[in-house]
C-alpha cells in the first residue's frame, strides 16, 4: 500500500517536515500555496536531499516540478497541457472526471470520508462501485479525505493502490501513524 503524505499548508518547516519524510511514507506532496516559486523549489530540493527514496510531488507549479525533476499534482482548476512534461497527478472528485484524467500517473479520489472544507464525501460504497467498474490497468489510485488508520481497512480494494492524508501525518508521531496504516 502506497502512503502519500501531504503538507498541511503551514509553510516550509524543515523541523516539522523531516519526521514525516523519514517516517516510512512512500510519497510526499508539497501543497504550499503561499510559497513563492523559489521557496517551493528550495523546499523540493531539501525534500529530495533529506529523503531521496520518497517520491516527490509539487502541487500547482509545473515550473517547479520541472526544475526539481519531480511530479506535478495539478489541482482542479489547473489548465491542461502539463501531460507529457512531468509525471502527473490529478484530483478525482467525481466519476465523470475519469475519462479526461485517466492518462495521469496518479489520481487522488477525494474526499472519501468527511473532511474539513470539502464537498460531500464519496463514502466507501460509492468508491468501491467506481473502482469495480475500472479496467485493471491505469493510473495509480489513492484515497484521500478523512482517511486515518482506523477507517483505512474499509477502503481495501484491488484497484486502490494506497492512501493519501494530511492530518494523520502531522498530528503526533508520523512513524507511528505509518505503522498503524501498514497494520490496517
| pLDDT category of residue 81 using cuts at 50, 70 and 90 | low
Non-local CB neighbours of 61 within 8 Å, separated by 6+ positions:
37, 40, 72
CATH of 2-183, one of 3.40.50.720, 3.50.50.60, 3.20.20.70, 1.20.1560.10: 3.20.20.70
- The H or E element spanning position 4 is strand 2-6
Q: Are 108 and 144 in contact (CB under 8 A)?
A: yes
- Supply the pTM of this predicted model: 0.96
What is the percent of the chain with per-residue pLDDT over 70, rounded to a whole number? 97
pLDDT for residue 50: 98
pLDDT in tens, 57-71: 999 999 999 999 999
pLDDT of residue 118: 86
pLDDT, residue 171, reads 94
Distances (CA, A) of 46 to 21, 62, 72, 124, 136: 11, 18, 17, 36, 36
Res 83 pLDDT > 70: no
Domain boundaries, the chain: 2-183
Question: Grid coordinates 508521531 are at which residue?
Answer: 173
Residues whose CB falls within 8 Å of the CB of residue 116, separated by 6 or more in sequence, listed in order: none
pLDDT at 78: 76
Asked if 80 and 72 touch (Cβ cutoff 8 Å), the reply is no
Averaged pLDDT score across all residues of the chain: 95
Amino acid at each position: 500500500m502506497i502512503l502519500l503524505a501531504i503538507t498541511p499548508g503551514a509553510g516550509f518547516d524543515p523541523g516539522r517536515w523531516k519526521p514525516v519524510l523519514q517516517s516510512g511514507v512512500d510519497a510526499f506532496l508539497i501543497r504550499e500555496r503561499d510559497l513563492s516559486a523559489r521557496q517551493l523549489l528550495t523546499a523540493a530540493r531539501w525534500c529530495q536531499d533529506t529523503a531521496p527514496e520518497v517520491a516527490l510531488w509539487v502541487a500547482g507549479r509545473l515550473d517547479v516540478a520541472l526544475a526539481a525533476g519531480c511530479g506535478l499534482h495539478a489541482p482542479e482548476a489547473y489548465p491542461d497541457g502539463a501531460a507529457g512534461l512531468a509525471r502527473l497527478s490529478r484530483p478525482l472528485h467525481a466519476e465523470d472526471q475519469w475519462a479526461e484524467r485517466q492518462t495521469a500517473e496518479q489520481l487522488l479520489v477525494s474526499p472519501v470520508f468527511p473532511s474539513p472544507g470539502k464537498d460531500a464525501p464519496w463514502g466507501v460504497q460509492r468508491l468501491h462501485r467506481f473502482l469495480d467498474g475500472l479496467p485493471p490497468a491505469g493510473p495509480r489510485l489513492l484515497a484521500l479525505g478523512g482517511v486515518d488508520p482506523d477507517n483505512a481497512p474499509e477502503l481495501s480494494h484491488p484497484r486502490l493502490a494506497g492512501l493519501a492524508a494530511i492530518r494523520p501525518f502531522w498530528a503526533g508521531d508520523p512513524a507511528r501513524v505509518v505503522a498503524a496504516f501498514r497494520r490496517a
